[in-house]
Amino acid sequence: MQFSFTEQIALLILTLAALSSFTYEVWRRLRIVLKGSGHFSLNRFGERAWRTFREVFIHERVIRGRFWPGLMHALVFWGFIAFGVVTLDHFAVGFGKPILSHRADELYSVVAIPVAGLVLLGILVLAYRRFITRPAALGKLSPTSGLVAVFISLLMITYIYGEMSPASVVAKANWWFHSILILAFLVLIPRSKHLHLVFAPFNIFFRPFDTPDHKAVNIDLEAEEEELDAMLSDLTRLSKNQALDIFSCVACGRCTDSCPAHRGGGILSPKDHFILDLRQPMLDSGDVNVLEGINVEAGWECTSCQACTFACPVGNQVEKSDEIRRLQVMVEGQVPQQYQKLFMNLQETGNTEGAFSSSLAETLPKFTPEKEYVLWLGCFARFNLDPNFTQSVENYAKILDAAGVSYGVLEEEWCSGDPANRLGEKMTYQMLMEHNLEQLSTVKKVTTMCPHCAVNVGKEYGKHANLNYEMQHHTQVISSLIENGRLAISGKSSEAVTYHDPCNLSRMLGEVDAPRKAIRATADDFFELEESGTNTLCCGAGGGLWWKKEGTGRTHLVRAEQIVESRAETVVTSCNFCYGMFNQGLGPLTPEGRGPVEVKDLADFVAENAQV
Amino acid sequence: MKIAVLVKQVPGGDSPLRISDDQLWVIEDNVNFITNESDAYAVEEALQLREKSGEGEVVAVSFGPERTQRTIREALSKGADRGIHIEDSYPYSSDPLKIATALSEALKEEQFDLILSGLQSDDYGFGQVGVLLGETLGMTTATLVMSTELSDGSLKVKRELESGWFQWVSLSLPASISIQSGINTPRYPSLKGIMGAKKKEIKSVAPDSATAAAQAISRVYIPQKTKKTEMIEGTADQQVKRLAEVLKKEIRVV
């Protein structure tokens, strides 16, 4: 195909205009992102690269989360990759300097034409889903998505037509049409959610390894007023990672679909409240100090379960309840009354219940330096938040005794600070943490049955201090005792058993195998719930909601219903809060004629089937 | 608008309470001292009234031993401007008139427009200090206030009466009113508030010792739990008759 000088000038002007528009809009957003606090980390580079390959090029999360739409999206994405060379060559031809020889172009088209057909299939199915099926998660109809669907379809059609037809006036017109579509696409991308094309791969690459990844708040009680003001104003700012999230969001709504508060009928929609609501304010102000604008009521509904973050296909750390709540508590002083009582208890007595002694702690051996483990009880167990759980602690103690493991409780164990931390009371958190770190200063190994304590004492304290001890959740200890033969199994139970993954254990500590190994060793009929592993659904008690009790809609019932509706005769869990929620919650939900589902901690289940 | 809010430090309800050896108080080890519940609502109401009127001062006033400064500090961290602490010593005063007189001596120079207090203390529960102080300082008074409306030098309050009845009363200023729990939603001390409170002034005043106490606690004790069992015998009619009598006259539930 030949192009006149005038045509080439026109092409040059159009290309430069589209490219500058694209660059300007991307730069404008990038500049805001770079104003975020912290920095993008390059640590564990290999892992990051491998993750990016899997999640971007293989589309692992995209397909796993929603299989058919995910696969269709993958077709379109892989088409984009395949068409990279074609598109470059297309413009090169316009300037009379083709990259591909005629022969190479012909050869490539043998692959590219079928690929174009697959892209066409993919985009049409996606458009059908978006505009005809209209799942609620996608929100209100987006005209730009329609435009993009039309663009991509026309690009494929014009490409196929161009490859199939001999040079003619119509072919020339077709060439120009194809070019203008591409340039228009360039203009459209940065102004719409289709910017994820540019940002998502970087966002996935830079995504922090820890979930959640909220900035640690260090409070200096001796600070000067200016330092305090600077610290408080810093709390309104997003980090660089969080800012990049906002512009990478593709508004697919998987986070909202997975959110227990949303599924329980609450107002919280992570997609809107934690991500999209921040986008326009950032563009308007050109800055990242937008956290004050988030819907507060929605923020108090969050269970901090991290389902949203795990569901996100573009690598966002979605949850912002930490940011919302710490502003409410530390800057605004607006705190629901139940939580004020909780905070007061923590400050006055070092525990959630305002209690002065624990009858359970008195019956257990005290920790002395020659013992292997500190048995960290946590307030739930110490103060009988569910009286039945006392038996579970005793069962864990029996297992340790039977396996010859020495352990003891700390006399001065205070609350790990989990509720204070998750509810934004970072000053109380710091006070509790400092006390506990002192108690643990010479300790080497700690084990606990509470995943909330395990996350805080074992991981989050590490954001503030160097930890000299190792934290092992009891599922990890029990599983390894079975594996290395120190705990003898006496027989296998025959009831239908399922396992509920606690969010703190599965998503925040990444432990899904240990409890399953222990159950498989002691059960004949183990089956998985539909939502399991890191894809689990929160029981409703996380994020301090255990102490809120009312006003949380049906968040606490959704998971309980799933368990009652499964074929389980026993549900095993490994978190005291989940245990308490199900112990209270399953009974009333059980329909007449169906036997009650037994709720057991992993320690109960293993103790029943082991020589203890 | 210059507002005083009376706050009292009381033992927290969850604390294990053991009677002291002299039987005049409780053993204070392991006791959690907290702000009296209705006083916390009075503090919030005072702060909201100051915010609504756009200017003025809220002064947190407490009568009690040294530890009571923490309760004043809590009000300061929520936004009160300064504190006045009238020192009491053991055995603690338990005569409302004496306490009110000591408070009036310390506060008369201040010329407050409004004095707010909690409805009653959760330890002694006399419920009189706010009213007596108002009378001593020549103010109008109202008790059990559930709602306030401030307009041009006068204060309209909604009072709780018996059996679900309410009453609206207009008071001229200066006035002293006692606040019922639940009137508002108390705020939580923000970090800035806590840090700022460290620099706020708490003035300590020695109590006026001239006034003699007209009443004092003579003995603190835990109520004896008693149990009584009566077997009702006789014919069905006699049993019913006796049972009705017990329910009506002795247990008084019907």
Q: Which residues of A touch B186 (CB under 8 A)?
A: 337, 340
Least confident of A35-44, A307-316, A551-560: A551-560
- Whether A215 is covered by a domain: the verdict is no
Q: Given a cut of 90, is residue A431 above it in pLDDT?
A: yes
State how far the Cα of B26 lies from the Cα of B8, in Å rounded to an integer.
16
Return the pLDDT at B226: 86
Q: Are strands A373-376 and A445-448 parallel, antiparallel or unpaired?
A: parallel
**Does the structure show a pLDDT above 70 at A281?**
yes
User: How many Å lie between the alpha carbon of B231 and the closest alpha carbon of chain A?
Assistant: 36
Tell if the CB–CB gap between B192 and A232 is shorter than 8 Å. yes
* Nearest CA-CA distance, residue A231 and chain B, Å: 10
The closest of A329, A323, A332 to A238, measured between CA atoms, is A323
Instruction: Write the DSSP symbol of residue A489.
Output: B
Asked if the Cβ–Cβ distance from A330 to B191 is below 8 Å, we say yes
Q: What is the pLDDT of residue A309?
A: 97
Which of B12 and B42 is assigned the larger pLDDT? Answer: B42
Most distant pair of Cα atoms in chain A: their distance: 93
Q: Are residues A81 and A180 in the same domain?
A: yes
**CB A302, CB A321: distance < 8 Å:** yes
- Residue B227 pLDDT: 86
Q: Which amino acid is at A117?
A: G
Does residue A188 sit in the same domain as residue A56?
yes
Q: β-pairing, A570-573 with A523-527?
A: unpaired
Whether the per-residue pLDDT at A599 is higher than 70: the answer is: yes
Tell me the CA end-to-end span of chain A in Å, nearest whole number: 84
Q: Give the range among A97-106, A266-275, A481-490, B53-62 with minimum mean pLDDT.
A: A97-106
Radius of gyration of chain B (CA): 22
CB contact (8 A) between residue A345 and residue B14:
yes
Which strand ranges, in their side-by-side order, compose the sheet holding A407-408? A407-408, A373-376, A445-448, A470-473
Q: Please name the residues in contact with B224: beta carbons below 8 A apart, sequence gap of 6 or more.
A: none
Of B16, B188, B195, the CB nearest to A333: B188
Please state which of the ranges A531-535, A553-557, A569-573, B139-143 shows the lowest mean pLDDT.
Answer: A553-557
DSSP class of A486: S
In this structure, the number of other CB atoms found within 10 A of the CB of residue A56 comes to 22
Using the CB atoms, write b or e for A244-275: b if 16+ within 10 Å: bbbbbbbbbbbbbbbbbbbbbebebbbbbbbb
Query: Rounded distance, CA A427 to CA B77, Å?
Result: 14
Same domain, A263 and A370: no
- The residues near A150 (Cβ < 8 Å, ≥ 6 apart) are none
A224 touches chain B (CB under 8 A): no
CATH number for position A382: 3.40.50
pLDDT(A551) > 70: no
**Same domain for A79 and A26:** yes
Distance from C-alpha of A1 to C-alpha of A9, rounded to nearest angstrom: 16
- Both tokens of A44, joined, read 């564990």
Residue A319's domain spans which residues?
A: 225-240+253-332
Kindly report the CATH number assigned to the domain that includes residue A137.
1.20.950
Nearest residue on chain A to B14, alpha-carbon basis: A354
Distances (CA, A) of A147 to A29, A127, A139, A153, A237: 22, 10, 17, 10, 34
Element housing A570 (H / E)? strand A570-573
At A142, the pLDDT band (50, 70, 90 cuts) reads confident
- State whether A345 and A409 are in the same domain: yes
Least confident segment among A253-262, B20-29, B202-211:
B202-211
- Do A464 and A490 have their domain in common? no
**Closest CB to B188 among A219, A223, A340:** A340
Please state, in angstroms and rounded to a whole number, the distance separating the CA atoms of residues B34 and A436. 24
Task: Tell me, yes or no, whether A233 and A274 share the same domain.
Answer: yes
Residue A247 included in any domain: no
Give B-chain residues touching A219 at CB under 8 angstroms: 191
Cα–Cα dist A107/A342, whole Å: 71
Looking at beta carbons, which residues of chain B come within 8 Å of A348?
12, 32, 34
Q: What is the H or E stretch that residue B76 is in?
A: helix B69-78
Distance (Å, whole) CA B106 – CA A63: 74
Chain A residues lying within 8 Å of B191, measured CB to CB: 219, 228, 232, 330-331, 427
At residue B115, the pLDDT reads 98
Is A220 part of any domain? no
Q: A169 and A41 in one domain?
A: yes
Whether the CA torsion B178, B183, B189, B193 is positive or negative: it is: negative
pLDDT digits (tens, 9 = 90+) for A355-404: 988 999 999 999 999 999 999 999 999 999 999 999 999 999 999 999 99
Give A351's contacts in chain B (Cβ within 8 Å): none
The mean pLDDT of chain B is 93
| Helix A196-206 and helix A240-248, axial crossing angle in degrees, nearest 10 | 150
The answer to whether the Cβ–Cβ distance between A348 and B34 falls below 8 Å is: yes
Q: Please judge whether B32 and A354 are an interchain contact, meaning their C-beta atoms are less than 8 angstroms apart.
A: yes
Residues of chain A contacting residue B16, judged by C-beta atoms under 8 Å apart? 356-357
Looking at the partner chain, which of B78, B190, B196 has a beta carbon nearest the beta carbon of A330? Answer: B190
Is B205 within 8 Å of B84 (Cβ atoms)? yes
Angle, CA of B179, B180 and B184, to the nearest 5° = 85
The Cα A304–Cα A240 span in angstroms is: 21
Q: Is A546 an interface residue toward B (CB < 8 Å)?
A: no
pLDDT band at A552 (very low <50, low <70, confident <90, very high): low
A248 in a structural domain: no
Mean pLDDT in residue range A409-423: 97
The CATH T-level fold of domain B2-205 is: Rossmann fold (3.40.50)
Half-sphere exposure of A385 (CA within 13 A, CB side): 22
Length of chain A: 612
What are the C-alpha distances in Å from B133 to residues A103, A201, B4, B61, B82? 103, 71, 11, 12, 20
* Closest Cβ opposite residue A354 in set B14, B193, B194: B14
Q: Closest Cα to residue A323, out of A244, A257, A234, A259?
A: A234
Count how many domains chain A has: 4
Number of inter-chain CB pairs under 8 A, A vs B = 54
Under a CB-based contact definition with an 8 Å cutoff, are residues A560 and A435 in contact? no
**Percent of chain A scored above 90 by pLDDT?**
89
Q: Give dist(CA B115, CA B134) in Å, integer.
A: 8
Q: Which residues 6+ apart lie within 8 Å of A27 measured at CB?
A: none
Decide which of A332, A352, A376 is a domain's last residue: A332
Residues A266 and A200 occupy one common structural domain: no
Closest CA to A29 of A188, A187, A199: A199
Report whether pLDDT(A549) > 80: no
DSSP class of residue A287 equals S
Mean pLDDT of B115-135: 96
Contact at CB, A219 and B191, closer than 8 angstroms: yes
Q: What is the ipTM of this complex?
A: 0.84
A66 and A184 both lie in a single domain: yes
**A230 and chain B in contact, CB less than 8 A:** no
Q: What is the C-alpha to C-alpha distance for residues A368 and A360, in angstroms, rounded to an integer?
A: 18
All residues at 6 or more sequence positions from A93 whose CB lies less than 8 Å from its CB, including other chains: A1, A175
Q: Is residue A425 part of a domain?
A: yes
Least confident window among A219-233, A411-425, A449-463, B37-51: A219-233
- Of the candidates A435, A379, A437, A376, the one whose C-alpha atom is nearest the C-alpha of residue A407 is A376
A357 and A317 co-located in one domain: no
State the smallest CA–CA distance between residue B188 and chain A in angstroms: 4
Residue A83 lies in a domain: yes
Where do the CATH 3.40.50.620 domains begin and end in chain B?
2-205
- Angstrom distance (rounded) from CA B222 to CA B19: 8
Name the residue facing A333 among B30, B34, B190 (closest C-beta): B190
Tell me if B98 sits within 8 A of B106, measured CB to CB: no
- Shared domain for A532 and A398, answered yes or no, is no
A376 membership: H or E segment, kind and range? strand A373-376
Q: How far is CA A501 from CA A79, A507, B245, in A?
A: 38, 9, 59
Interface contact flag, A356 B188, Cβ < 8 Å: no
The pLDDT of B160-171, averaged and rounded, is 93
The rounded percent of chain A whose pLDDT value lies above 70 is 99
Mean pLDDT estimate for chain A: 95
Is residue A45 in some structural domain? yes
What is the pLDDT confidence band of residue B83, given thresholds at 50, 70 and 90? very high
Mark yes or no for CB contact A329/B190 under 8 Å.
yes
Is the separation of the CB atoms in B7 and A324 below 8 Å? no
Any alpha helices (H) in A95-224, and if so which ranges?
102-128, 143-164, 169-188, 196-206
Chain B residues within an 8 Å CB radius of A329: 188, 190
Interface of A with B in 160-219 (CB under 8 A): 219
Which positions in chain B touch A356 (Cβ < 8 Å)? 14-16, 30
Quote the strand ranges of chain B, DSSP E: 2-6, 9-11, 33-35, 57-64, 82-87, 114-118, 140-151, 154-160, 166-172, 175-179, 202-205
Residue B143 CA to residue B158 CA, distance in Å, equals 10
Whether residue A232 and residue B191 make contact (CB cut-off 8 A), yes or no, is yes
Report yes or no: A330 and B190 within 8 Å, Cβ to Cβ: yes
- Full 3-state SS string of A458-483: HCHHHHCCCCCCEEEEHHHHHHHHHH
Q: What is the mean pLDDT of residues A434-440?
A: 97
Q: What contacts A226, CB < 8 A, 6 or more positions away?
A: none
Question: Which of 329-368 (A) contact B at CB < 8 A?
Answer: 329-335, 337, 340, 343-345, 348-349, 353-357
What is the average per-residue pLDDT within A25-49? 96
- A301 in a structural domain: yes
The confidence band for A550, taking pLDDT boundaries of 50, 70 and 90, is low
Q: What is the mean pLDDT of residues A300-321?
A: 96
Q: Which residues of A touch B78 (CB under 8 A)?
A: 333
